[in-house]
Amino acid sequence: MIVVTGGAGFIGSNIVKSLNRRGEEDVIVVDDLTDGSKFSNLADLLIADYLDKDNLADTVTHGHDIARRVRAVIHQGACTDTTEWDGRYMMQENFDYSKKLLHYCVDRHIPFIYASSASVYGAGPGFAEDAANERPLNVYGYSKLLFDQYVRRHFHEADSQIVGLRYFNVYGPREAHKTGMASVAWHFHRQVAQQGEARLFEGSDGYAAGEQQRDFVYVDDVAAVNLYFMDHPGQSGIFNVGTGASQSFNELARAVIDWHGRGEIRYIPFPEGLAGHYQSFTQADISALRNAGYREPFQTVEQGVRAYLDELEGR
């Protein structure tokens, strides 16, 4: 049995899909379906059971033991809203909950693979897994960093696998429920389809209009990295998950426009509220991931956007 928390969410449901593709159906999905629209991410998947996230927390807290049947916990559940400034809520969701699962897994020798975030690096300029590079710009990034730091302090206690994966800018199918927090690829697609234009920010932090750059990584590649570590329980550590090559928002917008065969780019003023809290450049250093044995190539923006929109529109 494999437990996937956040399994009805964007990355979690894609991990379940990837497990199904290889014949794995003994999967427990853990999530919060207060937003019932997320059911659609599970409707075409095969799972063994569903648990509310609070029920799993109760199971862990009160010592009920399902560990005899669990092969791995892939922990994707979190509050991922980077505009959320309720620090108490963020720590409860992203730090306290994760600690409970970590200790449950370590005590029972269960592999624990969890989602961290490239937001821990803030504005950079360094994007290697090193404390000197870790300067988050918001409380979401800090909640992820704090858990990474906690894991680092407790690595020596564990004789089972602990893997933290620092996702860069993930895009792909099953993210529509995220609406405002969905990827820019999703937003550009809707904008071009409905208004015939993709809206990008004007220049900021010394970058020309639309030339801010991110490491955009396709969700299938992210799922593949998770499954790689599940298949290699001897590997532990904190690893970046990105392509290792940044591309501009202009390139992403052009890939969406090319897919539609129409549309144009329009630049809009940079929001004042994002000043000082915005990553104008990210690029994963994936040396540690490669050194851990992961050799698969990552899709470029042009490849990933085509695969994404083909699936989204049933082509």
Cα–Cα distance for residue pair 118/124, rounded to 1 Å: 10
Domain that holds residue 192: 176-213+246-280+306-312
Residue 96 and residue 139 in one domain: yes
Looking at the structure, tell me whether residues 23 and 154 fall in a common domain. yes
Same domain assignment for residues 119 and 75: yes
120 and 48 housed in the same domain: yes
Residues 147 and 203 in one domain: no
Tens of pLDDT, residues 271-315: 887 777 778 899 999 999 999 999 999 999 999 999 999 999 887
For residue 198, the domain's CATH number is 3.90.25.10
Task: Give the CATH number, domain containing residue 49.
Answer: 3.40.50.720
Residue 17 annotated in active site: no
140 is catalytic: yes
Please check whether residues 114 and 184 belong to one and the same domain.
no
Same domain, 132 and 13: yes
Q: Are residues 57 and 196 in the same domain?
A: no
* pLDDT score for 204: 83
Please tell me whether residues 106 and 185 are part of one structural domain. no
Q: How far apart are CA 268 and CA 210, in angstroms?
A: 10
Q: Supply the angle between the helices 139-154 and 97-107 in degrees, to the nearest 10.
A: 20
CA 231/CA 229 separation, integer angstroms? 5
Catalytically annotated residue among 140, 142, 228, 278? 140
Residues with Cβ within 8 Å of residue 113, at least 6 apart in sequence: 72, 73, 74, 75, 161, 163, 165, 226, 229, 230
Encode pLDDT of 143-189 as tens digits. Answer: 999 999 999 998 777 899 999 999 999 999 999 988 888 999 999 99
Of 53, 99, 100, 178, the active-site residue reads 178
* pTM for the whole structure: 0.94
Same domain? 96 vs 21: yes
- The domain tally of the chain equals 2
Q: 10 with 115, same domain? A: yes
Q: Report in angstroms the alpha-carbon separations of 8 from 77, 89, 199.
A: 9, 21, 29
Per-residue pLDDT of the chain (315 residues), as tens digits, is 999 999 999 999 999 999 999 999 999 999 999 989 999 999 999 999 999 998 887 776 665 666 678 999 999 998 777 778 888 988 888 899 999 999 999 999 999 999 999 999 998 899 999 999 999 989 999 999 999 999 999 877 789 999 999 999 999 999 998 888 899 999 999 999 999 999 999 988 889 999 999 999 999 999 999 999 999 999 999 999 999 999 999 999 999 999 999 999 999 998 887 777 778 899 999 999 999 999 999 999 999 999 999 999 887
